Amino acid sequence: LLGVKGVGAVNRVGGVTRQVRVELDPVKLLALNLTAAEISGQLRQIQQEAPGGRTDLGSLEQSVRTVATVKTAAELGQMEISLRDGRSIRLDQVAEVRDAIAERRSAALHDGRPVVGFEIVRSLGASDVAVARGVAAALEDFKKTHAEIQTNLVFNTVDTVYQAYQGSMEMIFEGAFLAVVVVVFFLRNTRATIVAATALPLAIIPTFALMVAFGFTINLVTLLALSLVVGVLVDDAIVEIENIMRHLEMGKTPYQAAMEAADEIGMAVIATTFTLVAVFLPTAFMDGVAGRFFVQFGWTAAVAVLFSLLVARLLTPMMCAYFLRPRVKHATPGWIEIYLKWAQWCLHHRKTTLLATAVFFFGSFFL
């Protein structure tokens, strides 16, 4: 499992640890004038695993480690122990050497039965989903060669991550769909709706490319940023299209209407977009632990909004110039007439309107 790409550690839970036990005979030690400390020191010098420096391997530098050579209790029993008078004896002549297990300090139970569990931890920067797939493939290969061993998945955090990812993607698609529905409802023009709807993918797809350049991944934070701004991405395009439609109804050609309308509200659209950038981008420079999470949120949201500005200022007028047609005259909906009456009343009673606005503004501070 450690050979799977992205696996940082494999921790065992339960089971036993092999231990070679050396039980010294005190009578023989006394006869040979030996102490347990002397034997322990000689064993430590022979069997100790320790760093051994570095060596050049081709064009790379590789660390070297000295590894103990004795692997079984029988081999350890054949090791020579030096005496003080210069003679040497085998370890099994003064001790009983046998394979055993270390003291149990943990236990794992599954359905009431003792098992050996393994906790797999991904390395820093690795994908949870990719590591889970790699581990699953490695376990399948292990089952083919060790059919007598049964493996079961007990706990998995990847499913939660994948469900959250699926939920975020569904939220983005639902938001995009509802944004298009709102555009249809208000513009009441199929061609204008198509032009406005193209602003969504044309703004989101380049954002993914810049996320790769920044080293960001598709995670809950970046998907949250996209889901929050998905409705904002069509705002600039809607403003451009609505003004172009107004010029079309004045009798101008689509090309002339697109040029003049885009030039007329260009600065307003740019100011609106940079206002949104000023809201989202500062979150990318937060300090502390929260800042490490929100750096991706702030940049993703700001970049998506900036790409929507480019689409609205460059592609939307071009598409309107060659695709839009004047709207067919139709009766004004009743709700628009009600809105126009309210707007006229506010314009004719400016002081009352400003006073009510101030009351709501300062009253919101007490909520």
pLDDT of residue 64 exceeding 80, the answer is no
Instruction: Choose from 2-6, 109-113, 249-253 the range with maximum mean pLDDT.
Output: 249-253
Single residue among 106, 128, 156 that ends a domain in this structure: 156
Please tell me whether residues 225 and 175 are part of one structural domain: yes
Query: Which pLDDT does position 352 carry in this prediction?
Result: 92
Please tell me whether residues 280 and 354 are part of one structural domain: no
Q: What is the mean pLDDT of the chain?
A: 80
Tell me how far apart the alpha carbons of residues 187 and 205 are, in angstroms, rounded to a whole number.
Answer: 25
Write out the residue range of the structural domain in which residue 320 sits: 159-328
pLDDT of residue 358 exceeding 90, the answer is yes
Q: Which helix (H) or strand (E) holds 110?
A: strand 108-110
Query: Which pLDDT does position 180 carry in this prediction?
Result: 78
Please tell me whether residues 321 and 339 are part of one structural domain: no
Which position has the higher pLDDT, 61 or 290? 290
Please tell me whether residues 143 and 207 are part of one structural domain: no
Which is nearest to 328 in space by CA: 257, 256, 251, 249? Answer: 249
26 domain residue, yes or no: no
Q: pLDDT confidence of 69, banded at 50, 70, 90?
A: low
Burial class of 350 by CB neighbour count within 10 A (0 to 12, 13 to 18, 19+): exposed
What CATH number is associated with residue 256?
A: 1.20.1640.10
Span 74-99, mean pLDDT? 80
pLDDT of residue 51 exceeding 70, the answer is no
Query: Which pLDDT does position 345 carry in this prediction?
Result: 93
Least confident range from 49-58, 182-191, 325-334: namely: 49-58
- CA dist 200 to 138, 211, 234, 363, Å? 40, 17, 6, 37
The predicted-structure confidence for 225-278, as pLDDT tens digits, reads as follows 888 888 788 888 888 888 888 888 888 888 898 898 888 888 888 998 899 899
Query: Which pLDDT does position 353 carry in this prediction?
Result: 93
Single residue among 100, 132, 156 that ends a domain in this structure: 156
pLDDT of residue 144 exceeding 90, the answer is no
Span 216-226, mean pLDDT? 83
**8 Å CB contact between 73 and 100:** no
Query: Which pLDDT does position 347 carry in this prediction?
Result: 92
Q: Residues in the chain, how many?
A: 367
Please tell me whether residues 269 and 173 are part of one structural domain: yes
367 domain residue, yes or no: no
Query: Which pLDDT does position 356 carry in this prediction?
Result: 92
For the chain, percent of residues with pLDDT exceeding 90: 8
Query: Which pLDDT does position 56 carry in this prediction?
Result: 54
The pTM for the full model equals: 0.61
Q: pLDDT confidence of 348, banded at 50, 70, 90?
A: very high
> DSSP assignment, residue 314?
I
Single residue among 156, 188, 212 that ends a domain in this structure: 156
User: Three-class SS string for 182-240?
Assistant: HHHHHHCCHHHHHHHHCHHHHHHHHHHHHHHHHCCCCCHHHHHHHHHHCCHHHHHHHHH
**b/e per residue, 38-77, with b = 16+ CB within 10 A?**
ebeebbeeeeeeeeeeeeeeeeeeeeeeeeeeeeebeebb
Please tell me whether residues 239 and 105 are part of one structural domain: no
**8 Å CB contact between 131 and 6:** yes
pLDDT of residue 167 exceeding 90, the answer is no
Please tell me whether residues 211 and 149 are part of one structural domain: no
Q: Which two structure tokens, joined as six digits, stand for 187?
A: 């513009």
Residues whose CB falls within 8 Å of the CB of residue 315, separated by 6 or more in sequence, listed in order: 198, 199, 202
Query: Which pLDDT does position 63 carry in this prediction?
Result: 53
pLDDT of residue 311 exceeding 70, the answer is yes
pLDDT of residue 315 exceeding 70, the answer is yes
The predicted-structure confidence for 19-45, as pLDDT tens digits, reads as follows 777 788 888 878 888 888 887 887 777
CB atoms within 10 A of CB 80: 13
**8 Å CB contact between 146 and 175:** no
Please tell me whether residues 125 and 237 are part of one structural domain: no
Please tell me whether residues 150 and 200 are part of one structural domain: no
How many domains is the chain partitioned into structurally? 3
Please tell me whether residues 200 and 273 are part of one structural domain: yes
